[in-house]
Amino acid sequence: MKRIILIGYMGAGKTTLGKILARSLNLEFIDLDWYIENRFHQSVSQLFATRGEEGFRKIEQNMLHEVAEFEDVVISAGGGTPCFFDNMEYMNQQGVTVYLKATPETLRTHLRMGKQKRPLIAQKNDEELDAFIRESLDKRESYYNQARLIFDTGLLDNGTRIQEAAQMLVEKVIQSSEF
Ligand code: S3P
């Protein structure tokens, strides 16, 4: 039975790399945010608006406990998932966790385009977004660094194509004694 859980900051490429990883390893791909949206028939932004972040985090934890029971899957967690309750410890028990590590500069570039769906940053201008990424990444890294494996996505900024990067990720996961 194989279960890989991708973690990392918003915009690090968890969904994009997760899909390719799942295809390469012949596993099913599950994105935790999409799973939540399907179950609740509401977008993550709507859930934040109606239940507040606290309500969303409780739902996120419950839904994590559902998806992390599935077998032969690649799960992409939300950026905040590892940082609440005992979620990080739980994910480490349930599967091979991989931290997709990206610099604040890369995250900023990705998130300037993709901030609308993300309630924590949707209203921020470029300057506020920069500050938010730096501060929250700093706090979150102590959780992210507890992952079994760390994969530096910086190679994507240096011209490596996404398929190649995904292949390197596949190899890293296969080589790990935990898989
Ligand atoms: C969040 C990340 C989002 C989503 C929600 C909160 C966070 O997931 O769960 O907007 O706290 O970092 P992605 O990392 O998939 O954007």
Here the CATH number for the domain that contains residue 74 is 3.40.50.300
Task: Examine residue 13 and state whether it is found in any structural domain, yes or no.
Answer: yes
14 Cα nearest atom in ligand 1: 15
Task: Examine residue 102 and state whether it is found in any structural domain, yes or no.
Answer: yes
Burial of 175 (0-12, 13-18, 19+ CB in 10 A): exposed
Tell me the average pLDDT across 82-88. 98
Span from the CA of 34 to the centroid of ligand 1 (angstroms): 11
Tell me the average pLDDT across 136-159. 94
Q: What is the pLDDT of residue 1?
A: 93
> Is 44 a pocket residue for ligand 1 (Cβ < 6 Å)?
yes
Tokens of 149: 């494996």
Please tell me which residue, 151 or 156, carries the higher pLDDT value: 151
Q: What is the pLDDT of residue 179?
A: 76
Tell me the average pLDDT across 56-64. 98
Q: What is the pLDDT of residue 162?
A: 87
3-state secondary structure of 132: helix
Task: Examine residue 15 and state whether it is found in any structural domain, yes or no.
Answer: yes
> Is 119 a pocket residue for ligand 1 (Cβ < 6 Å)?
yes
- Residue 178 pLDDT exceeds 80: no
Tell me the average pLDDT across 81-86. 98
Task: Examine residue 77 and state whether it is found in any structural domain, yes or no.
Answer: yes
Ligand 1 pocket, mutate which of 10, 15, 140 (most atoms under 8 A from CB): 10
Task: Examine residue 61 and state whether it is found in any structural domain, yes or no.
Answer: yes
Task: Examine residue 95 and state whether it is found in any structural domain, yes or no.
Answer: yes
Q: What are 48-57's pLDDT values in tens digits?
A: 999 999 999 9
pTM of model > 0.85? yes
> Is 79 a pocket residue for ligand 1 (Cβ < 6 Å)?
yes
Which helix (H) or strand (E) segment holds residue 90: the answer is helix 87-94
Span from the CA of 178 to the centroid of ligand 1 (angstroms): 27
> Is 118 a pocket residue for ligand 1 (Cβ < 6 Å)?
yes
3-state secondary structure of 96: strand
How far apart CA 167 and CA 179 sit, in angstroms, is 16
Report residue 166: phi and psi, to 5°. Answer: -60, -40
> Is 120 a pocket residue for ligand 1 (Cβ < 6 Å)?
yes
Task: Examine residue 172 and state whether it is found in any structural domain, yes or no.
Answer: no
- What is the tally of structural domains in the chain? 1
The domain in which residue 124 lies consists of 3-167
Tokens of 33: 């945010």
60 Cα nearest atom in ligand 1: 9
Question: What residues are paired with 100 via a beta bridge?
Answer: 151
Whose Cα sits closest to atom 2 in ligand 1?
79
- Residue 27 pLDDT exceeds 80: yes
Task: Examine residue 173 and state whether it is found in any structural domain, yes or no.
Answer: no
